[in-house]
A and B are shown apart, each in its own frame.
Chain A
């Protein structure tokens, strides 16, 4: 072979190498940031990020769904089954039992039976809107419309704005983070240190929120994210005790002028943090934040059931989204949305991947399209709706 031939071979090899490298990079993008080490409560984070609560996925059966699980074989529970009220506000899976907050008390599903607890048993108020479980102690914390309860060893202990440092009795959300119990209330957010029994509360007086109405919060990796009504997301660093806020840079209430420039809207209803991703729900869409980049989702450009989102919960890579017109779930790319037909118990799971859609009929389906609460653990997904709670099983 002459030298010209060698030159062509070398050039061709280099080009081939570049193409292969490029393909590899596209398929396996490098990490854009180091996942911060959680110095607080590593046991908690290990548990939360472990596979124990991570929902499985249905990719073996429904390839289109990818890593997003698909649930079927839905079963609905109402007052006929022992629920105290069909208006279910929240649901939380705690090992072998499920805790449901309703309009008329807290219902506990265990050994296929429902048992209800009300103010007669020591609940602060029968309107139970949020429940969380302290992973270390097993204590159940219950947010009600009239105070906060700790339920431990069968006994209720009440915290309210009169007998403690809690900011307000209208407790919308409770979140257990290490030794601290965080609450979002109508009069501010705050946390209770279970070891020193001290409250530290935040309102517009000492935090970057323009009013004290807070709806929900979540935490992870040393930070707490408060969904502040009309105030976007308030981030609190538990190590430095510093705040920062994330507000809609557009400033316009109805238009997402510049896509993906920040949180999608300031009327935030919930935050959820998992796998180093912060999810934010609003009444006007949903946002995803990886620490550097924001991504917004609307019902017209994604598989989101509706822009009006009541609540979200993230488990692993997947976030479950409670909308007023269905239950959605996504890993940011693929969507699985559950909707019930108006005139029957049936419905469907709509899988949206890219521009493609696939519908899987479900019979029965979820109990109602107005979803208020959700929790997923292992093979089960529970949803709290205005017509009872429903439970789906992972389609494998």
Chain B
């Protein structure tokens, strides 16, 4: 009895303490979560922040996992092996088709992107986007023989007709490295569009086509255009640059075997109109550009979307050996569109130029040539067809699998598990959500669409607000923004929770808002999972050049060159202090346009700023120079009018050298790997 009494009293006491503590704790917790999330109804879940928003460290290692993330792939000539470029694990995976097992894992450079195999099947070349080189892999010994130096951000890759040269598309420096394979050195560099990624040779190997993602610089409300660059294989010179109108994000290109058509996935943004009417495709549509290869051939654009269903982020395209069918992977919709190429030929042949212009906007046209949609795993990217044409291999990027589609039944028949972690971490879930259009009205676009690779698409949008046609804004990067709230140019969103919460669904996605579970995952990914690439072009090793050092002095100066003190509020370093080069404060710099409300702007961070043109809140400055040569004359955006052109150039050189603070202490794994992979 005494024992039970003791237990009861203890229990009552405990309950009393809890009853005393819980209400204030509950209130405190509620306030704490409200403050952190800038919302009022986010569930009080400690793990959301304290587990999943951790910077790299012990806890982060526990809760996260390292995936392969297959990005592109190639098939051996005999069809027995698949060569899978694993973007996140920095490997080339050799998969035996028969056994569906990985036979070799070959370490390559950082963020490998594409692969090409020579005709004899002896050597594979893998572009490493964050190492600025190409790994040359001996497919007999499965070792990397050497690394070939390229331009900045190598992506698409291909061999010349005589296989004496390697063409490498440099996505960050917007050019093509032509590498002499005998001397293993770069012979020349050719400019190509803006942020080019895809490369494919014509069937007769006489020409090489390079696709770009970003548009060519034009003022807002001008028609956007994206460049298709054509290179002569024999002369190794650019023979033509074609503008694809009203399109961008042209990731890849494929040819029909007969060479009569080239097909290219495109996204058609409607950034020139206010984003108030997402239905009927008035935010984004996606389709294919069809290029007639004959002299004076036309370029048509046909939408793959349907009136009430959109297929976001078309990425890769593959054509069957018989030339009858094309497959397009929709990275944002987890599916593949199956295209009847003969039907496409019929549409093109039977249409005037005016009709083709209408078809570029026609949501119903896909019913005439899309014969099926095949569901896939998460974020399907690269495609490859088996040599006999019977199987289509799909890199299910965020599921760590290779999907295998029967080209006869047009069904997913099996999958190859690449052996990545079994669990889907919160961060991974967030990445899947960012890349999926399921959160937008009729799946029209994903976060990736405007933020490719977690960056920005270089476009200026007129976001929906109470006043139409006002407050144009330049898309901002999401890379490593966890430490730089608030968000949006007007700084209205104090947290990513708020940025992607209810307002996001009201203004942008026009759909049900994310569940809190999904919002937590998305936030975790955005806050911790999107790193900046290393700045290998302007500041690879943290050692500034003399010009950059002089530019740094100008950036940090307190007096102008006449000796007058620069007001503290107008010094570069006041608003843009290291390490993120933002003081997180709101400021006006004399750049309000007539169409802007009278607001202050959230000071943007400047890490990797060289990779984010155009500049200023409405993208009016096409280059860093124009921020001051055209738009900085009032001296409200730093004191620059006393600078000579040389000094301004040096200031710009310093700005271009700014990189992510994660690379500053020299211990960063990515940077070490980038330099180690020589």
Task: State the A residues within 8 Å of B (CB).
Answer: 43, 136-139, 150, 152-155, 157, 161-165, 167-168, 179, 187-188, 194-201, 203, 205-206
Contacts and interface: CB of A to CB of B under 8 A. Distances in A.
Interface string B283-318: 000000000000000000000000000000000000
B188 A136 contact: yes
Interface stretch (B111-119, B386-394, B621-629, B668-676): B621-629
B409 to A, nearest CB: 43
A185 B656 CA distance: 25
Given A137-B237, A138-B238, A203-B646, A162 B626 contact: yes
Contact of A153 (B175, B241, B623, B646): B241
Contact of A195 (B175, B187, B645, B656): B175
B645 A188 contact: yes
Interface in B230-246: 230, 235, 237-241
A179 B625 contact: no
B191 interface: yes
Nearest to A195: B189
Question: Which 7 A-B pairs have CB atoms at the shortest separation, nearest pair first?
Answer: A153-B241, A138-B237, A153-B238, A162-B629, A165-B649, A136-B188, A155-B241
Nearest to A201: B646
B561 to A, nearest CB: 11
Contact of A152 (B173, B189, B238, B537): B238
B173 A195 contact: yes
B238 A137 contact: yes
B209 interface: no
B646 A205 contact: yes
A163 B625 contact: yes
B235 A138 contact: yes
At the interface, is chain A mostly helix, strand, loop or mixed?
loop
A198 B239 contact: no
A161 B241 contact: no
B652 interface: yes
Most buried by B among A138, A153, A195, A197: A153
B625 A164 contact: yes
9 contacts: A136-B187, A152-B190, A152-B191, A153-B229, A155-B241, A165-B649, A195-B173, A197-B173, A203-B644
Interface string B524-540: 00000000000001100
B518 to A, nearest CB: 41
A199 B649 contact: yes
B374 interface: no
Contact of B645 (A187, A196, A197): A187
A196 B539 CA distance: 11
Interface in B532-564: 537-538, 547
A179 B237 contact: no
Contact of B644 (A150, A162, A164, A205): A205
B151 interface: yes
B630 interface: yes
Interface string B162-197: 000000000001010000000000011111000000
B653 interface: yes
B189 A194 contact: yes
A137 B238 CA distance: 7
B559 to A, nearest CB: 19
Contacts of B646: 188, 201, 203, 205-206
Interface in B315-361: none
B630 A153 contact: no
A188 to B, nearest CB: 7
Nearest to B177: A195
Contact of B626 (A163, A167, A187): A163
B629 A201 contact: no
B623 A164 contact: yes
A183 to B, nearest CB: 13
Interface in B629-678: 629-630, 644-646, 648-649, 652-653, 656
Contacts of B626: 162-163
A178 B227 CA distance: 25
A199 B646 CA distance: 9
B645 A163 contact: no
Contacts of B235: 138
Nearest to B188: A136
A371 B625 CA distance: 38
B239 A153 contact: yes
Given A168-B645, A188-B645, A195-B173, 6 more contacts: A136-B187, A137-B188, A137-B238, A153-B239, A196-B537, A199-B649
A117 to B, nearest CB: 15
Nearest to B230: A153
Contact of B240 (A150, A153, A163, A199): A153
A154 B237 contact: no
A139 B648 CA distance: 28
A195 B630 CA distance: 26
Given A164-B623, A165-B625, A194-B191, A154 B240 contact: yes
Contacts of B547: 200
Nearest to B189: A195
Contacts of B625: 162-165
B308 to A, nearest CB: 39
B241 A152 contact: yes
A187 B646 CA distance: 11
A194 B189 CA distance: 8
A198 B551 CA distance: 14
Most buried by A among B190, B537, B646, B656: B646
Contacts of A161: 629, 645
Contacts of A198: 653, 656
A165 B645 contact: yes
Nearest to A188: B645
Given A152-B191, A196-B538, A163 B623 contact: yes
Contacts of A162: 625-626, 629-630
Interface in B182-228: 187-191, 227
B189 A137 contact: yes
Contacts of B239: 153
A200 B547 CA distance: 9
Contacts of A153: 229-230, 238-241
Contacts of A187: 645
A154 B227 CA distance: 12
Nearest to B151: A195
Most buried by B among A165, A187, A200: A165
A197 B170 CA distance: 13
A167 B645 contact: yes
Contacts of A197: 173
Given A153-B230, A194-B191, A196-B537, A163 B622 contact: yes
A136 B177 CA distance: 12
A19 B227 CA distance: 72
Most buried by A among B187, B622, B649: B649
Contact of B652 (A138, A165, A194): A165
A81 to B, nearest CB: 27
B430 to A, nearest CB: 35
Contacts of B656: 198
Most buried by A among B187, B538, B644, B656: B644
A155 to B, nearest CB: 4
A165 B187 CA distance: 26
A278 to B, nearest CB: 27
A218 B586 CA distance: 50
Given A137-B188, A197-B173, A200-B547, A154 B241 contact: yes
Contacts of B191: 137, 139, 150, 152, 157, 194
A137 B236 CA distance: 8
A201 B173 contact: no
Contacts of A167: 645
Contacts of A199: 649
A13 B650 CA distance: 72
Contacts of A163: 622-623, 625-626, 629
Most buried by A among B190, B622, B656: B190
B599 to A, nearest CB: 27
Contacts of A155: 227, 241
